[in-house]
Amino acid sequence: MNNIFNVPQYKKLRQSLRTSMTEPEKRLWFRIRNNHLGVKFRRQHGIGRYIVDFYCPKKKLIVEIDGDSHFTNSAKESDEIRDECMISLGLKVLRVTNSQVMSDLDSVVDLILSEVGD
């Protein structure tokens, strides 16, 4: 399964996404980076042809922060296909909204902690 992670052809895109993180991504990253939750998270991590917002390899957990663009019908369908792909790889997907991160970051962190706790 390692050959699907961080496919070289998407390296520049991953780097670009890391340097232009949204405010909700920055806020959540500040709280989960450096093993703050007891496990390592990676940001803008490539899995196959997709780039996920945050990935915890040890727990096989993906955390996605969904902005307004994710609430159209076509985006919802794309997200479902993407999630099914991740699930088929044995990964779990946790989706939160920009609004949740911006208005109640502590609850979002608690939710993630409940997923990564032993």
CATH of the domain at 15: 3.40.960.10
Provide the whole-model pTM. Answer: 0.93
Quick: pLDDT tens for 2-37.
Answer: 589 999 999 999 999 999 999 999 999 999 999 999
Q: What angle do CA 100, 80, 104 make, to 5 degrees?
A: 5
Residue 53 corresponds to which tokens in the numbers above? 């917002």
Domain span holding position 89: 2-116
How many folded domains does the chain comprise?
A: 1
Quick: pLDDT tens for 68-91.
Answer: 777 788 889 999 999 999 999 999
| Cα(118)–Cα(83) distance, integer angstroms | 23
